[in-house]
């Protein structure tokens, strides 16, 4: 049966204008965690222009998906080696067939079963996403998987309990009840706010150190002047 022009338009819309179609986050904990993941990475990579981070953004991966309205949007996903620019959604066939390099799902009571099963299978078999992590802001459940020969295999944690991400070249681990990034040497990747506080503390420490050195120099100068005055009283010129 022939398809009408309207049906064709409904099935194949202007994909450059596809809007994201994702539900609201489950709780303020989920909002805070997602914002933290985005802010830290954007700040760390502020000088890079070849990556894209999606936050609760729909990934459109097939025309049939549009017809069935079977939308799939990871809570957090990363693309490396792509143009960094604003996007209303990620449309796979408009982006050279690219699927995410890394996905993180934030578990909740209503999504945990889907994230552990249906989405895990989708990301493994259809997306072929190299790394998949899930984290619960409420229970702190945290697991990571890496695609090995087409199958997700659990990532073994390092001695400190962190999981190494090849896509990020960073560790992922828990810090004060939140999922955070860590440098290869184990240092915490800071938020812009934390960086500002650290910089202010460092500047204050350097100011105090400089003031201490100034006072020490002044004390040494005063002692030298006192000694010179005592020598002159004895008829001895200090320069001699």
What residues make up the domain containing 207?
191-240
- With a cut of 70, say whether residue 70 has pLDDT above it: no
Q: Looking at the structure, do residues 140 and 215 belong to the same domain, yes or no?
A: no
Q: Looking at the structure, do residues 12 and 54 belong to the same domain, yes or no?
A: yes
For residues 77 and 120, what is the distance between their CA atoms, to the nearest angstrom?
14
For residues 42 and 36, what is the distance between their CA atoms, to the nearest angstrom?
10
Q: Looking at the structure, do residues 86 and 118 belong to the same domain, yes or no?
A: yes
State if pTM tops 0.85. no
Domain final position from 155, 170, 189 = 189
If you average pLDDT over residues 224-234, what whole number do you get?
A: 76
How large is the C-alpha radius of gyration of the chain? 28
Residue 2 is predicted with a pLDDT of 39
Q: Looking at the structure, do residues 75 and 154 belong to the same domain, yes or no?
A: yes
Residue 27 is predicted with a pLDDT of 83
Describe the strand order of the beta sheet including 131-135 as a list of residue ranges: 51-55, 76-80, 102-106, 131-135, 142-148, 151-154
For residues 217 and 223, what is the distance between their CA atoms, to the nearest angstrom?
10
Q: Looking at the structure, do residues 76 and 136 belong to the same domain, yes or no?
A: yes
Q: Looking at the structure, do residues 61 and 155 belong to the same domain, yes or no?
A: yes
Q: E-assigned strands of the chain?
A: 51-55, 59-60, 76-80, 90-91, 102-106, 131-135, 142-148, 151-154, 163-165, 170-175, 178-182
Number of domains in the chain: 2
CATH of the domain at 78: 3.90.1570.10
Q: Looking at the structure, do residues 127 and 217 belong to the same domain, yes or no?
A: no
Q: Looking at the structure, do residues 49 and 14 belong to the same domain, yes or no?
A: yes
- With a cut of 70, say whether residue 206 has pLDDT above it: no
Q: Looking at the structure, do residues 58 and 117 belong to the same domain, yes or no?
A: yes
Q: Looking at the structure, do residues 225 and 129 belong to the same domain, yes or no?
A: no
- With a cut of 80, say whether residue 147 has pLDDT above it: yes
Band the pLDDT of 1: cuts 50, 70, 90.
Answer: very low
- With a cut of 70, say whether residue 43 has pLDDT above it: yes
Residue from 75, 138, 133 nearest 109 by CA = 138
Residue 98 burial (10 A CB sphere; 0-12, 13-18, 19+): middle
**Residue 93: CB atoms within 10 Å:** 12
**Residue pair 52/83 in contact by the 8 Å Cβ criterion:** yes
Q: Looking at the structure, do residues 47 and 161 belong to the same domain, yes or no?
A: yes
Q: Looking at the structure, do residues 88 and 103 belong to the same domain, yes or no?
A: yes
Give how far Cα 96 sits from Cα of 33, 61, 83, 90, 92, Å.
30, 11, 12, 11, 7
């Amino acid at each position: 049966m022939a398809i009408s022009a309207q049906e064709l338009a409904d099935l194949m819309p202007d994909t450059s204008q596809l809007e994201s179609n994702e539900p609201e986050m489950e709780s303020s904990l989920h909002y805070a965690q997602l914002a933290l993941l985005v802010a830290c990475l954007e700040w760390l990579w502020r000088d890079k222009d070849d990556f894209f981070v999606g936050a609760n953004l729909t990934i459109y991966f097939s025309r049939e998906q549009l017809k069935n309205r079977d939308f799939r949007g990871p809570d957090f996903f990363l693309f490396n080696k792509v143009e960094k620019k604003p996007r209303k959604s990620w449309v796979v066939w408009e982006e050279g067939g690219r699927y995410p390099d890394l996905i993180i799902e934030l578990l909740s009571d209503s999504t945990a079963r889907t994230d552990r099963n249906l989405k895990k299978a989708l990301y493994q078999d259809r997306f072929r996403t190299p790394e998949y992590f899930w984290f619960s802001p409420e229970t702190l459940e945290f697991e990571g998987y890496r695609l090995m020969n087409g199958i997700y295999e659990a990532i073994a944690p390092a001695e400190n309990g962190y999981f190494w991400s090849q896509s990020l070249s960073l560790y992922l681990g828990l810090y004060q009840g939140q999922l955070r990034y860590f440098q290869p040497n184990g240092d915490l990747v800071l938020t812009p706010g934390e960086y500002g506080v650290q910089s202010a503390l460092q500047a204050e420490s350097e100011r105090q150190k400089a003031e201490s050195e100034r006072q020490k120099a002044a004390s040494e100068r005063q002692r030298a002047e006192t000694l010179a005055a005592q020598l002159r009283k004895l008829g001895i010129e200090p320069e001699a």
